[in-house]
Structure formats: structure tokens, C-alpha cells
Amino acid sequence: MYTLDFVSNTRTPLSTFGGDPMYSPDGSKIAFLRGDTLGSNARVYLMRADGSNVHPAPAQTNPDVSITAISDWSFDGTRLLFDQVGNNQWVRMIDLRDRTARNVTNGVADKHAWFHP
């Protein structure tokens, strides 16, 4: 993963590895997947947009299932939707405020799938 400075047109590698990055709505954080290989034992990680403060997202579930994609951030940047596949497929939500996770619905959600009325 890289940061791109549009003013200077420079690309800088971040000090971490991962994939499927998604910026928070205010641009201050990035959620991404990191694991053995993407889609295989991947976990959701968070970091600041400058690449600092890399840490696993709270309330992860069973490490024997795969997290295949990050779907979207909530409009206020406090929750994340992600797809998890094991014996079944689930759209799950991590609430960063109280560090909990829960199933939202059976199935998968595409990128930017969070509906904000």
C-alpha cells in the first residue's frame, strides 16, 4: 500500500502490508485486510491515513473463518461492514466505539454497500 501526495505527485510506501484498503469518510483512517494471503485467514486492521498506529480492529471473530472483503465505513466513521466466509457467508459489523462485532445479515455486501438515507 502507498500514500499518494497529489500536490507533489509523489508515491510513498507505507510501513505495513495488506490489501483491500478503504478510507474512513473523513480520510483520517484506513481499514484493510492482512493475513496469510488475502482472503485466507485475513483479519481487519486499522491505521491512521499516514500509515501509523497499525492495529487489528477490535472484536474479531473466529480466526478459522476468512474475511474476504471490507464493504464500507458508516457515515460517521465509527463502524465497519465486512464479509466473512466460513461454513456460511455473513455480513458483519464492527462497532469501534464499544469494540463489539455482530452479524448483520446472511450473505455478502459489495463495496460501498452501506445505505445512508
Predicted pLDDT of residue 62: 62
What is the per-residue pLDDT across 22-45, written as a single tens digit (0 to 9) for each? 999 999 999 998 876 544 567 889
pLDDT, tens digit, 9 for 90 and up, residues 57-108: 887 666 667 777 888 999 999 999 988 887 778 888 999 999 998 888 887 8
Domains of the chain: 2-106 (2.120.10.30)
- Give how far Cα 61 sits from Cα of 23, 67, 117, Å: 22, 10, 29
* pLDDT in the model for residue 25: 94
